Amino acid sequence: MSQSSAAQDFVANVQAPQGAVASLAQEGQEGMGALPVPTRKSERWKYSPITAMLARPLRTATAPEGWPGDVEPNPVPGLDAYRIVLVNGHVVPEACDLPVADGVVCMPWCQAVEEGHLADLDWSGYHRREWVGAVHAAHAQDGMFLHVAQGVTLDRPVLVHHHTTGDQVAACPRHRIVVEDQAHAEVVLWHSASNGATGMVNGVLEACVGAGARLGLDKVQHEEGEVFHLAHEHVTQGKDSTFRIHSMTVKGHWVRNELNAVQEGQGAHTIMHGAYLPKDREHVDNHTTMDHTVPNCTSSELYKGILYDRSTGVFNGKVFVRQEAQLTNAYQQNANIVADAGASINAKPELEIYADDVKCSHGCTVGQFDEEALFYLKSRGIGDKAARALMVQAFIGDVLEGMGQEEVAQEVETLLADRHGWS
Amino acid sequence: MLTIKNLHAQVEDTPILNGLNLEIGPGEVHAIMGPNGSGKSTLASVLAGREDYEVTQGSVDFDGTDLLDMDASERARDGLFLAFQYPVEIPGVSNLNFMKAAINGKREHQGLEPISAKDFLALVKEKSALVELAGRLRDRSVNEGFSGGEKKRNEIFQMAMLEPKLAILDETDSGLDIDALRIVSQGVNAMRDAGRSFLVITHYQRLLDHIVPDFVHVLSEGQIVKSGPKELALELEEKGYDWIKEPAV
Ligand SMILES: Nc1ncnc2c1ncn2[C@@H]1O[C@H](COP(=O)(O)OP(=O)(O)OP(=O)(O)O)[C@@H](O)[C@H]1O
Ligand SMILES: [Mg+2]
């Protein structure tokens, strides 16, 4: 069977959405027909082929009967947050706890579309650029809509918890966040999946951060089962705004994160930090694009990975400094430890600088654990596992430290410790 | 305490220790001197359990157990300590977390609960006073950005924290200023007792003015070629190593 016919069969059983989303779904359908299905030949997908995903047709992700009893709606102990929860792309209203405050609109994305809160269903144009984006749009479901009015600070973070469960699920959640001028919001994006879950999570998040506004995202992927996870975040930033994301892949069978930030107003600052620690035969791909289009902006990008067993990783960090974007200060660092001989990482920084008066630095390292340091630790009576744990914590410590919610950072550390037997 | 018999060790097929014998009794302080490259640090590393070195012959008994049968952390938990000639910098690991993990490793081995935060801090306070280790150094990452002398002082602080049965000090005096040398020596002397032994590797008599050894050995080409009382160190300082030609029999 050729890849394109596999690609058709792959979503043949998945119903197109009705109602308010239908126009987006229609465009998605067209995109699926017009755009090339990614293969190993396409540069952007070379190291993350989707062949294995396409090989097993998906089913429509049926609306769940409530929230699964064995999953905590709030997976983060001690986190005091508003909450919107989804199973297989569908919002489960009875397990949500939405903010009700002046200047804050927070509701399911579909409801927001119906009530006319979204003038435009799509900002990122993802379905016009990428086949997987078109697959998402053609089957877009529900998600969170968050609008924070000018000058308003959300008093607590909003937790968006997406859970995947079942066989060959097609989950296409879609979120939009608008933080108006001088407003501030913190959001936790948590992804879980049940043991034995299979299929695809293909999500899109669009955010607009207004002038002088701040948006912080703590994103955590902690998925059991064998789910193919495609994520696309697209963020535009106004003058003097700050956008921060921490993208932590604790566990995931196959993950492709695509993150774009576009600075459209002077004085904007972007923080893109992330960590990935795949093991077994897992795959984690982070493709980021930092787009400096105007002068006087800064960005700080830091991704750290530790690859165990036979896992594979990809880091591709594009930084554009457009001709207009004088006095840009862009920093990018990607550091990797390949812990076992069977693991590998493909790391590639890509800087395209068209302005002449800028400060850009980047670094990319791939190495092993420092044996000298390990021996030093062991010579003090620290066992091999504990010694490695100390080294790992030291390595990803600067990523964890910068997260918005301390409780989330703590839980990530706990999950990693459990998973890797450090505790 | 420690009995080394006919120890041969090599690194990547190059023999470095060539039939070394040494016996250290409880409470004794032994000094090892010898030319550069004679194998002093190699001996220390082999005893501490560094895996790059392959023991090809011989045996090492540590307080009744086969030392060579244990890995580095087990040896440490059993009471062996090596103060490194070149302490390692570990960015991101705080000195205190490091020491807490070390102490808890040992306590686990002894079947004890992890140390309480209160007891740990009290211990840190007591031991860092002993070697006058500044608070700012305790709180930083392990050895990161420490001066040479500060690193050495940190080694002795760790030794004091872990209270080993046998401490091997590999050129702990090098890089120390006169005051630091005195302080470090005082720290060592304060820990001397009937049950604790020391193996002090040094090039200079001046350390042995402070830490007075019971025996002095000369290591040359991977063997102990001469042993004697503390006066041997003075003789070596005066005459150098050339006059010792043949291995002692
Ligand atoms: N890891 C290694 N790889 C290769 N050669 C080594 C290694 N470690 C030690 N050697 C060699 O073994 C010999 C003994 O080295 P060692 O460090 O034990 O000497 P030392 O007596 O401590 O010298 P110094 O007084 O200079 O500290 C030297 O020739 C050294 O180059
Ligand atoms: Mg040496």
Please report, as a single letter, which amino acid is at residue B163: E
The token pair that represents A164 in the structure block: 């995947």
pLDDT confidence bin for B28, thresholds 50/70/90: very high
Res B67 pLDDT > 50: yes
**Is A180 in a helix, a strand, or coil?**
coil
Q: What is the pLDDT, as a whole number, of residue B64?
A: 93
Q: Which residues contact A355 (CB under 8 A, 6 or more apart)?
A: A292, A321, A322, A323, A324, A325, A326, A328
Ligand 1 pocket, residue B40 CB under 6 Å = yes
The token pair that represents A410 in the structure block: 């703590």
pLDDT confidence bin for B234, thresholds 50/70/90: confident
Distance between first and last Cα of chain A? 47
Q: What is the pLDDT, as a whole number, of residue B245?
A: 59
Residue nearest (by alpha carbon) to ligand 1 atom 30: B37
What are the φ/ψ torsions at residue A53 (nearest 5 degrees)? -70, -45
**Is B162–A372 a contact, with Cβ atoms under 8 angstroms apart?**
no
* Tally: H helices and E strands in chain A: 9, 20
Residue nearest (by alpha carbon) to ligand 1 atom 25: B36
pLDDT confidence bin for B242, thresholds 50/70/90: confident
Q: What is the pLDDT, as a whole number, of residue B210?
A: 92
What are the φ/ψ torsions at residue B207 (nearest 5 degrees)? -65, -35
pLDDT confidence bin for B249, thresholds 50/70/90: very low
CB atoms within 10 A of CB A369: 16
Residues of chain A above pLDDT 90, percent: 87
Name the domain count of chain B.
1
Q: Which domain holds residue B13?
A: 2-86+146-157+164-239
Average of per-residue pLDDT across B53-60? 96
Res A286 pLDDT > 90: yes
Map out the domains of chain A as residue ranges. 3-265, 377-423
Q: What is the pLDDT, as a whole number, of residue B85?
A: 93
Distance CA A380, CA B83 (A): 10
DSSP string of A57-87, one letter each residue: -----PPPSSS-TTS-SS-STT---EEEEEE
- Each residue's pLDDT tens digit, B110-137: 999 999 999 999 999 999 988 888 777 7
Average of per-residue pLDDT across B160-180? 92
Res A3 pLDDT > 70: no
Residues of chain B above pLDDT 70, percent: 98
**Is residue A49 within 8 Å of residue A39, measured between CB atoms?**
yes
Whether B141 is in a domain gets the answer no
pLDDT confidence bin for A423, thresholds 50/70/90: low
- Which chain A residue shows the shortest CA-CA distance from B74? A381
- Each residue's pLDDT tens digit, A42-78: 889 999 999 999 999 998 767 778 899 999 999 999 9
**Is A381–B84 a contact, with Cβ atoms under 8 angstroms apart?**
no
Average of per-residue pLDDT across A169-198? 97
Closest ligand 1 atom, CA of B45?
Answer: 18
User: How many Å lie between the alpha carbon of B241 and the closest alpha carbon of chain A?
Assistant: 32
- Each residue's pLDDT tens digit, A204-219: 999 999 999 999 999 9
Residue B114 in contact with partner chain A when CB distance is under 8 A: no
What is chain B's mean pLDDT, rounded? 92
**Is residue B32 within 8 Å of residue B234, measured between CB atoms?**
no
**Is B71–A378 a contact, with Cβ atoms under 8 angstroms apart?**
yes
Q: What is the pLDDT, as a whole number, of residue B174?
A: 87
pLDDT confidence bin for A391, thresholds 50/70/90: very high
User: How many Å lie between the alpha carbon of A188 and the closest alpha carbon of chain B?
Assistant: 26
Res A372 pLDDT > 60: yes
What is chain A's mean pLDDT, rounded? 94
Q: What is the pLDDT, as a whole number, of residue B246?
A: 56
Whether B108 is in a domain gets the answer no
Res B156 pLDDT > 90: yes
Q: What is the pLDDT, as a whole number, of residue B101?
A: 93
Q: How far is the CA of B207 from the centre of ligand 2 (A)?
A: 16
Q: What is the pLDDT, as a whole number, of residue B47?
A: 97
Whether B107 is in a domain gets the answer no
Residue nearest (by alpha carbon) to ligand 1 atom 5: B11
**Is B88–A376 a contact, with Cβ atoms under 8 angstroms apart?**
yes
Query: Could you say which DSSP state residue B178 is in?
Result: H
Res A1 pLDDT > 50: no
Res B209 pLDDT > 60: yes
Res B175 pLDDT > 70: yes
Q: What is the pLDDT, as a whole number, of residue A97?
A: 95
Average of per-residue pLDDT across B132-154? 87
Q: What is the pLDDT, as a whole number, of residue A19?
A: 80
Residue B224 sits in a domain of what CATH number? Answer: 3.40.50.300
**Is residue A230 within 8 Å of residue A132, measured between CB atoms?**
yes
Query: Could you say which DSSP state residue A153 is in?
Result: B
User: How many Å lie between the alpha carbon of A340 and the closest alpha carbon of chain B?
Assistant: 18
Q: How far is the CA of B221 from the centre of ligand 2 (A)?
A: 13
Res B37 pLDDT > 80: yes
**Is B98–A380 a contact, with Cβ atoms under 8 angstroms apart?**
yes
Alpha helices, DSSP H only, in A65-214? 109-114, 126-129, 131-138
Q: What is the pLDDT, as a whole number, of residue A111?
A: 95
Contacts of A388 in chain B (CB under 8 A): none
Res A193 pLDDT > 50: yes
Closest ligand 1 atom, CA of B16?
Answer: 12
The ligand whose atoms approach the alpha carbon of B38 most closely is: 1
Average of per-residue pLDDT across A101-111? 95
Ligand 1 pocket, residue B38 CB under 6 Å = yes
Give the number of beta-carbon pairs within 8 Å between A and B.
Answer: 83
